[in-house]
C-alpha cells in the first residue's frame, strides 16, 4: 500500500510549466531550454542507458566510492567522530539514528548501498525520496522495500529546488539528505548555493547533506562522456525536441538538429547544445509560435559543472553546512562530500 499524502501536480499544471519554460527559453538569445525538460519517460530511460555506457564514468565512479565508504558516511552522518569509526561494530559507541531523505527519486543501486549501511548500523531506516515525478517515486518505493528489509519508504512529491519540508526529527534522530549523482552540477554556482540554502532551511543543526560532485579532469575524457560512441547521449539531447513535438505539438525535425558537447574551460563546465543544421522555421502549435533558426544556431540545453578542489567545500559553507569529510576514487575523478548543518 502506498500512502502519499500531498497534492499531486496535475498533468495540466505540468504541461503549463513545460509550455512556459519553452516559450521563455526560445525567446532568449542565445536560445536555451532547461535541463529538467530531459526527463520525461523516454528521457529518463535514455539517461539510465547513458549511465551504462563505458564513456560515462560518473555513475560507476560514484558507485565505487559509495561501495567503499558507505559505512563510514552513515556513521559520520550519525554523529560519530572519525576516530571511533572502527569501534561502532563492537557496539562500543552510541550515536543518533538517521532518517535518510534523497533529492531525486532513488539513484538506484547507489542509494541502496547507503540504505543497507544504515540498516546495518541501526537495524531499520526511514527513507524519504523527494521528486516531482510520482511515477518515479512509486517505482522507487516498490523496488527498495522489496529489496532491503528494514527500509520504510515514505515518498514525497515536492520540487526540492524550492525548499524541503521533511517531518521533524525526534530527539536522538538526525536527517541525512542525499544529493548524489552530480545533480548539483546542472546548476550555475549562484543557483547551486540557492538550492542548498533552501534545503538547509528545512534542516536542523547536526543534520547531514551528502553531496556528490564531478571533478574537473582532462578534456578528452569529459568530451567522450557527453558524446558516447553509441550515440545514446545524442539521443538523450534530441529527445528534448521529440518531447516538445509530443507535448506541445511542435514540428521539430530531429535530423535537422545535431547534438554537440562542448567543454567550457572558463566556466569549468560541460555544455550540451542542439545545433540547427540549416536555416529553418519551426512551428509550435500549443504556443502558437514560429521559431526561426539560422544555420549553425544552437539551443543550449545543459550545463554540467566540473568542480575544482575546494569549490564544493566553499559551496557547502555558503549554504551553512560545515564540510565534515569527503571521499574520492583512485583517479580523483569524482568526490562525495558530507556537510553538517550548522
Ligand atoms: C544527471 C545531471 C548528473 O550532467 O552528467 C548525462 C545528465 N547529461 N549526460 C550529467 C547528463 C548528459 C547528468 N546529470
Integer Cα distance of 304 and 231 in angstroms: 18
Which of residues 239 and 133 earns the better pLDDT score?
Answer: 239
Q: pLDDT tens digits, residue range 138-169?
A: 888 888 999 999 999 999 998 898 889 898 89
Atom of ligand 1 at shortest distance to CA of 270?
4
Question: What is the value of pTM for the model shown?
Answer: 0.94
User: Side by side, which strands form the sheet with 269-276?
Assistant: 31-32, 298-305, 269-276, 257-264
CA of 73 to the centre of ligand 1 (A): 24
* Residues present in the chain in total: 342
Determine the pLDDT at residue 143. 87
Pocket test for ligand 1, best of 45, 52, 185 (most atoms within 8 A of CB): 185
Nearest CA to ligand 1 atom 14: 183
225 CA closest ligand 1 atom index: 9
Burial (CB count within 10 angstroms: exposed 0-12, middle 13-18, buried 19+), residue 151: buried
User: What's residue 290's pLDDT?
Assistant: 98
pLDDT at 112: 95
- The mean pLDDT of 212-235, rounded to a whole number, is 98
Distance of alpha carbon 157 from its chain centroid, rounded?
Answer: 15
Taking CB atoms within 8 Å and a gap of at least 24, the contacts of 307-313 are 307/185, 307/213, 307/214, 307/215, 307/216, 307/268, 307/335, 308/215, 308/216, 308/268, 309/215, 311/213, 312/211, 312/213, 312/337, 313/337
Peptide bond into 97 cis (omega under 30): no
Cα 262 to ligand 1 centre (Å):
13
Ligand 1 is surrounded, with C-beta below 6 A, by 50, 58, 181-183, 185-186, 226, 233, 302, 304
Atom of ligand 1 nearest to the CA of 47: 6
For the ranges 138-142, 247-251, 322-326, which has the lowest average pLDDT?
138-142
| Dist. CA 48 → ligand 1 center (Å) | 10
- Packed helices 41-50 and 232-248: angle between N→C axes, nearest 10 degrees: 180
Q: Ligand 1: which atom is nearest the Cα of residue 304?
A: 4
Give 168 Cα–ligand 1 centroid separation in angstroms.
32
Cell 538526525 appears where?
174
271 DSSP β-pair partners: 262, 303
Question: 215 C-alpha to center of ligand 1: Å?
Answer: 13
Atom of ligand 1 nearest to the CA of 302: 8
- Residue 81 C-alpha to ligand 1 middle, in angstroms? 34
* pLDDT of res. 93: 67
* Structure confidence at residue 271 (pLDDT): 99
Kindly give the distance from the C-alpha atom of residue 111 to the centroid of ligand 1, in angstroms, as a whole number.
17
Ligand 1 center from residue 304 Cα (angstroms): 7
**Helix (H, G, I), strand (E, B), or coil: what is residue 73?**
helix
pLDDT at 120 over 70: yes
Separation of 65 CA from ligand 1 center, angstroms? Answer: 18
User: Residues 169-197: what's their mean pLDDT?
Assistant: 97
DSSP tag of 79: T
Mean of pLDDT over the chain: 93
Which residue blocks in the chain are alpha helix, DSSP H?
11-27, 41-50, 57-77, 109-122, 134-147, 189-201, 219-225, 232-248, 311-318
- Going by alpha carbons, the residue nearest to atom 5 of ligand 1 is 304
54-104 pLDDT per residue, tens: 999 999 999 999 999 999 999 999 999 877 776 655 555 678 999 999 998
User: What number is the average pLDDT over the span 299-324?
Assistant: 98
How far apart, in whole angstroms, are the C-alpha atoms of residue 114 and residue 102?
11
Position 1 pLDDT exceeds 50: no
**Cell numbers for 123:** 537495524
The pLDDT score that the predictor gives to residue 340 is 98
Instruction: Please name which of 167, 176, 180, 163 lies closest in space to residue 208, comparing C-alpha atoms.
Output: 176
Burial category of 213 from C-beta neighbours within 10 Å (exposed 0-12, middle 13-18, buried 19 and up): buried
Residue corresponding to grid cell 561502532: 88
Rounded to an integer, what distance in angstroms lies between the CA atom of residue 164 and that of residue 197? Answer: 10
Residue nearest to atom 1 of ligand 1 (CA): 183
Out of 52-61, 100-109, 333-342, pick the least confident: 100-109
Residue 105 has a pLDDT of 79
Answer yes or no: is pLDDT of 239 > 50.
yes
Helix spans in 149-271 (H): 189-201, 219-225, 232-248
Q: What percentage of the chain has pLDDT greater than the value 70?
A: 94
Q: Could you tell me the three cell numbers for 161? A: 529546488
Q: Which residue, by CA, sits nearest to atom 10 of ligand 1?
A: 304
Residue nearest to atom 2 of ligand 1 (CA): 183
Region 12-19 average pLDDT: 85
DSSP class of residue 307? B
Find the 342 Cα to ligand 1 centroid distance in Å: 30
Residue with the nearest Cα to atom 12 of ligand 1? Answer: 226
* 8 Å CB contact between 75 and 91: no
Non-local (6+) Cβ contacts of 48 within 8 A are none
Q: What is residue 2's predicted lDDT score, i.e. its pLDDT?
A: 46
Amino acid at each position: 500500500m502506498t500512502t502519499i499524502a500531498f497534492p499531486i501536480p496535475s498533468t495540466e499544471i505540468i504541461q503549463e510549466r513545460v509550455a512556459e519554460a519553452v516559450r521563455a527559453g526560445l525567446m532568449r538569445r542565445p536560445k536555451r531550454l532547461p535541463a529538467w525538460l530531459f526527463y520525461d519517460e523516454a528521457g529518463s530511460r535514455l539517461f539510465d542507458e547513458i549511465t551504462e555506457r563505458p564513456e560515462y564514468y560518473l555513475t560507476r565512479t560514484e558507485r565505487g566510492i559509495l561501495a567503499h565508504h558507505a559505512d563510514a558516511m552513515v556513521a559520520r552522518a550519525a554523529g560519530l567522530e572519525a576516530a571511533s569509526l572502527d569501534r561502532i561494530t563492537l557496539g562500543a559507541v552510541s550515536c543518533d539514528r538517521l532518517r535518510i531523505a534523497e533529492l531525486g527519486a532513488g539513484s538506484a543501486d547507489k542509494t541502496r548501498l547507503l540504505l543497507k549501511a544504515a540498516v546495518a548500523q541501526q537495524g531499520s531506516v526511514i527513507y524519504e525520496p523527494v521528486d516531482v515525478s510520482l511515477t518515479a517515486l512509486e517505482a522507487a518505493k516498490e523496488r527498495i522495500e522489496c529489496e532491503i528489509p528494514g527500509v520504510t519508504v515514505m515518498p514525497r512529491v515536492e520540487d526540492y529546488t524550492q525548499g524541503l519540508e521533511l517531518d521533524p526529527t525526534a530527539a536522538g534522530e538526525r536527517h541525512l539528505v542525499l544529493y548524489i549523482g552530480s545533480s548539483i552540477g546542472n546548476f550555475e554556482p549562484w543557483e547551486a548555493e540557492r538550492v542548498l540554502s533552501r534545503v538547509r532551511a528545512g534542516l536542523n543543526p547536526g543534520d547531514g547533506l551528502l553531496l556528490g560532485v564531478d571533478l574537473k579532469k582532462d578534456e578528452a575524457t569529459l568530451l567522450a562522456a557527453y558524446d558516447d560512441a553509441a550515440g545514446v547521449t545524442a539521443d538523450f539531447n534530441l529527445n528534448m525536441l521529440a518531447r516538445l513535438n509530443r507535448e506541445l505539438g511542435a514540428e521539430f525535425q530531429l535530423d535537422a538538429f545535431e547534438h554537440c558537447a562542448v567543454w567550457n574551460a572558463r566556466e569549468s563546465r560541460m555544455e550540451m547544445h542542439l545545433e540547427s543544421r540549416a536555416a529553418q522555421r519551426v512551428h509550435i502549435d500549443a504556443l502558437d509560435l514560429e521559431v526561426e533558426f539560422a544555420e549553425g544556431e544552437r539551443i543550449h540545453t545543459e550545463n554540467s559543472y566540473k568542480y575544482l578542489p575546494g569549490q564544493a567545500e566553499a559551496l557547502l559553507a555558503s549554504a551553512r553546512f560545515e564540510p565534515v569529510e569527503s571521499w574520492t576514487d583512485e583517479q580523483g575523478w569524482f568526490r562525495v562530500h558530507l556537510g553538517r548543518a550548522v
